[in-house]
A and B are shown apart, each in its own frame.
Chain A
């Protein structure tokens, strides 16, 4: 029988360790329900740090539920249930002594429809996360607002109207405002739930470029029903079908050389 080497050379250990460390989120045996409807079935996947991971799949396959489980938003819906583990830097966010509020501060989210706070100015929208968490220092807020708006490539368009209503912006600008709002609290992970589905092609291009830039500093998980978008922006792609993770790997091989027939049929447009 094959006997395993007990002592590995240090180089190999370093590679193993660094490989291990580069996973920001590890999902283990994740199940989710809405009432009796079992929407996620035993999902296991590891999400790389400082990379873009796309989740694709037909409508109703559980994509949105999956990312809403990653920042404990799923459980806010009446009748929703979760089991399994989600490790953030090795710590289970569903642990008994974990406050979901602290999880959500570390994992930001951008929603499908732009949802700026309607009664707040552009400035207040971006500053909201900090202000509501008790930051009142004007200089710190100013700096955070400008930095976040610059990161979201919105600063130049709004710097003169910073006190206007956030709702007065166009749809694409509103979505970038929501991205800036999420970035202002300096999360480690950014979850994006079909962030371009309500936007026109020009705005979509801008946001896709933004996602690529953000992945230098952030771990980004994006849900999309647009396969071209997944191919354009992501480093890794997961294909979800009827609540099960069918295939997961680097984007290039998923799109060019899918191992599973279902995946191939989906990305070649045979169904979905």
Chain B
């Protein structure tokens, strides 16, 4: 009886500890969200979303070009990064033992943890030095960040598709490549989409590579080989402004919009790719 009571006490203590750890982990997350909401919401209105970025310290204006710039740069980066990432993930999962796959997997893991400023410098030396600061250079740098994330998550998702599903298609006389792009991909769809959204969320907030590639701007998009604005850069500039009462609320507003944008993309993508059968 006595032993039973001590066991129960130990159990209670361990359960409480895990809950405590969970609460501690959630505190910074929730406070970031609440803080951004409280400070960001008052800054946001129609003018804030649609108008051009004012010079620091000047009232009026908005962050329109930054929203536009982020959508364009992230959009192009996804157009480059998603197909390459998904295809290489499939190849790693379907042909896992080739020498190329082993090398690619290792390099992929290394580049997942590559500091983003390094990728920025890479994009800068490779493209910016030749063409000047440009949307293309920024999209290129972000695509490089995106590929390893998409590759890794696609590989894991495709590996989870049971062998029996593949065999069912192959036994029907369906060629291997067709089996992969139809039956296997449709079964792995959910995991792959999650990986893509994760990578979009990650690159949408990147600041360092953009500083070195698209530079930032106060004006609307004016061409793929021109500098452009982006939300992380706008947040960065507003928050280092000396005019705290005018520019700091803008930084909060832009932060909130960035969060809502990532959330919005994720909701829209999930809606259009939802499973027919759960």
Chain A residues within 8 Å of B, Cβ to Cβ: 71, 73, 76, 78, 101-106, 108-109, 111, 113, 115-121, 128-129, 132-133, 164-165, 167-168, 178, 181-182, 185
Contacts and interface: CB of A to CB of B under 8 A. Distances in A.
A111 B172 contact: no
B59 interface: no
Nearest to A71: B171
Interface in B172-199: 172-175, 178-179, 182-183, 186-187, 189
B35 interface: no
Interface in B7-65: none
B170 A73 contact: yes
Contacts of B164: 111, 113, 115
A121 B276 CA distance: 9
Given A73-B167, A128-B169, A132-B183, 16 more contacts: A71-B171, A76-B167, A101-B173, A101-B175, A103-B173, A105-B172, A105-B173, A111-B164, A115-B162, A117-B165, A117-B187, A118-B187, A119-B189, A178-B168, A182-B172, A185-B173
Contact of A132 (B162, B165, B174, B276): B174
B173 to A, nearest CB: 3
B158 to A, nearest CB: 14
A104 B170 contact: yes
Contacts of B179: 132
B94 to A, nearest CB: 12
A199 B76 CA distance: 51
Contacts of A178: 168
A119 B274 CA distance: 11
Contact of A108 (B169, B172, B174, B276): B172
A119 B172 contact: no
Contact of B277 (A165, A182, A185): A165
A132 B171 contact: no
A118 to B, nearest CB: 6
B248 to A, nearest CB: 49
Contacts of A78: 97
Contacts of B178: 132
A85 to B, nearest CB: 21
15 contacts: A73-B171, A101-B173, A102-B173, A104-B171, A104-B172, A113-B164, A115-B165, A117-B183, A118-B165, A119-B189, A119-B276, A128-B172, A129-B173, A182-B172, A185-B172
A130 to B, nearest CB: 9
Nearest to A125: B168
Overall SS of chain A's interface: mixed
Contacts, number: 80
Contacts of A76: 167, 170
A115 B163 CA distance: 10
B275 interface: yes
A181 B172 contact: yes
**Which of B168, B179, B186, B275 has its CB near the most chain A CB atoms (within 10 A)?**
B168
B205 to A, nearest CB: 32
Nearest to B185: A119
Given A78-B97, A129-B172, A182-B172, A119 B167 contact: no
Contacts of B97: 78
Contacts of A118: 165, 187, 277
Given A115-B168, A119-B186, A167-B277, A129 B162 contact: no
A119 B277 CA distance: 7
Contacts of B187: 117-119
B170 A132 contact: no
Contacts of A129: 172-174
B167 A132 contact: no
Contacts of A128: 169, 172, 174, 183
B131 to A, nearest CB: 44
6 nearest interchain CB pairs? A105-B173, A165-B277, A129-B172, A109-B171, A115-B164, A104-B173
Contacts of A73: 167, 170-171
